[in-house]
C-alpha cells in the first residue's frame, strides 16, 4: 500500500499588522458599534488549527467529494471510506484556535448571537460556542441514506478497526498523508479495505456531511435565515463565498439592510455587498475585536 508523497501542509504566515489593518479595524469597530452579531464562517477560520482549506491564496488544488462520485460504485465508496478512516482522525484531533475562541468570547459578552458555519470540523462547538448551525453537517456523525440509521464516527472507527486490523498503522508507516478539509485523506491503493453497510437495512452509509452537488437540508437553511434576520450585523469570517450555500445569507443581509463585514484573505463573491471588507487573517482580526469589546480571548481560554 502506498501513499502519495506529500510535503507537510502548514497555514500561511500571518500578515503583519500595519497601518492599513489598524485603519480597517478602526472602521470595523466603529461600524459594529454595539450591534449584536451573527457570524458566518468558512474554512479560512480553521487553517490555524491545521485543517487546510480549498481556496485561500497558496492553497493546493483539491477535488472535493461530490455526491455523484460517492454513489457511483461500491469500489469507489470502499476507496473513500479507507481514506476517511484515516482523515477523520486528523480532524478529530484538531483544536480550536484564537479565532474560534474569540467568537466564543464575543458570545459570552452578549455580542454574538449565533454562528452559521460551512465547516464540518466541529471546532466552534469544541471552543464552547452555542447556537451553531452546521450548514454542511459534521464529521462526527454517519447515517444510512435509506433508513436514516445513525452511528457516531468514533463507534464506526471501532467497527472498521476490527474489520481492518493494522490498516491505519500500515498506511501511516508508508509516509506523510495529506488530509483535505472534508476529513478525506489522499491514498492510492485501498483495495484491501473492508467497509460496512447499514446493519438495519443494508443501505449505503455516508458521513453526515453535505457533499458538493448535494442540497443543504431545508430546516438548516431556514434556521440560518432566521439567525441573520434576528442579528444587527453579519460578520463573515474565512469564506470566499464561492458557493451559494453561504453567499445567499450575505445577499439576504444586504437585501434587508443589515451591515455585512467580511474578514477574509483575498477576494470573495460577496465583496460587492459588503459594508466593509477586511483583507486579513481571522486569527489576527477576531482576537483584536474580542479584546476591544470585553474580556477577549483570554477569557475564553479560562473557561
Active site (catalytic) residues:
136
Annotated binding-site residue? 285: no
- CB burial of residue 285 (10 Å; 0-12, 13-18, 19+): buried
Measuring CA to CA, which residue among 262, 268, 221, 260 is closest to residue 242? Answer: 268
Assigned C-alpha cell, 52: 487546510
Between CA 248 and CA 227 the distance in angstroms is 13
Annotated binding-site residue? 205: no
Annotated binding-site residue? 173: no
Assigned C-alpha cell, 205: 452509509
Between CA 226 and CA 69 the distance in angstroms is 33
Annotated binding-site residue? 59: yes
Annotated binding-site residue? 296: no
Annotated binding-site residue? 266: yes
Annotated binding-site residue? 200: no
> First CA to last CA across the chain, in angstroms?
44
Annotated binding-site residue? 105: no
Assigned C-alpha cell, 144: 444510512
- CB burial of residue 70 (10 Å; 0-12, 13-18, 19+): buried
Annotated binding-site residue? 61: yes
**185 Ramachandran zone, left/alpha/beta (phi>0; psi -120 to 50):** beta
Annotated binding-site residue? 138: no
Annotated binding-site residue? 60: yes
Are 15 and 278 spatial neighbours (Cβ–Cβ below 8 Å)? Answer: no
Q: How far is CA 209 from CA 140, 145, 292, in A?
A: 9, 12, 36
Annotated binding-site residue? 238: yes
Assigned C-alpha cell, 279: 483583507
Are 274 and 40 spatial neighbours (Cβ–Cβ below 8 Å)? Answer: no
Annotated binding-site residue? 239: yes
Annotated binding-site residue? 120: yes
Residues belonging to the binding site for NAD(+) are 42-62, 118-121, 238-240, 264-266, 282
Q: Which residues make up each annotated binding site?
A: 42-62, 118-121, 144, 147, 198, 201, 238-240, 264-266, 282
Q: Which residues are annotated as a binding site for Zn(2+)?
A: 144, 147, 198, 201
Amino acid at each position: 500500500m502506498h501513499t502519495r508523497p506529500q510535503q507537510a501542509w502548514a497555514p500561511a504566515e500571518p500578515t503583519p499588522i500595519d497601518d492599513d489593518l489598524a485603519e480597517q479595524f478602526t472602521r470595523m469597530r466603529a461600524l459594529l458599534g454595539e450591534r449584536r452579531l451573527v457570524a458566518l464562517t468558512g474554512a479560512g477560520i480553521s487553517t490555524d488549527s491545521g485543517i487546510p482549506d480549498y481556496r485561500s491564496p497558496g492553497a493546493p488544488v483539491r477535488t472535493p467529494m461530490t455526491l455523484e462520485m460517492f454513489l457511483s460504485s461500491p469500489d469507489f465508496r470502499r476507496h473513500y471510506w479507507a481514506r476517511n478512516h484515516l482523515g477523520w482522525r486528523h480532524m478529530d484531533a484538531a483544536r480550536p484556535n484564537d479565532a474560534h475562541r474569540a467568537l466564543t468570547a464575543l458570545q459570552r459578552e452578549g455580542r454574538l448571537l449565533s454562528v452559521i458555519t460551512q465547516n464540518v470540523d466541529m471546532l466552534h462547538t469544541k471552543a464552547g460556542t452555542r447556537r451553531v448551525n452546521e450548514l454542511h453537517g459534521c464529521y462526527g456523525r454517519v447515517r444510512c441514506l435509506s433508513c436514516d440509521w445513525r452511528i457516531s464516527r468514533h463507534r464506526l472507527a471501532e467497527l472498521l478497526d476490527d474489520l481492518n486490523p493494522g490498516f491505519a498503522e500500515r498506511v501511516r508507516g508508508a509516509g506523510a498523508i495529506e488530509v483535505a478539509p472534508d476529513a478525506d485523506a489522499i491514498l492510492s491503493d485501498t483495495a484491501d479495505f473492508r467497509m460496512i453497510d447499514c446493519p438495519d437495512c443494508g443501505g449505503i452509509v455516508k458521513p453526515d456531511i453535505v457533499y458538493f452537488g448535494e442540497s443543504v437540508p431545508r430546516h438548516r437553511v431556514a434556521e440560518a435565515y432566521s439567525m441573520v434576520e434576528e442579528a444587527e450585523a453579519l460578520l463573515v469570517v474565512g469564506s470566499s463565498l464561492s458557493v451559494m450555500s453561504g453567499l445567499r445569507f450575505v445577499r439576504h443581509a444586504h437585501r434587508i439592510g443589515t451591515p455585512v463585514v467580511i474578514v477574509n484573505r483575498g477576494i470573495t463573491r460577496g465583496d460587492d455587498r459588503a459594508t466593509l471588507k477586511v483583507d486579513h487573517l481571522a486569527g489576527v482580526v477576531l482576537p483584536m475585536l474580542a479584546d476591544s469589546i470585553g474580556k477577549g480571548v483570554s477569557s475564553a481560554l479560562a473557561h
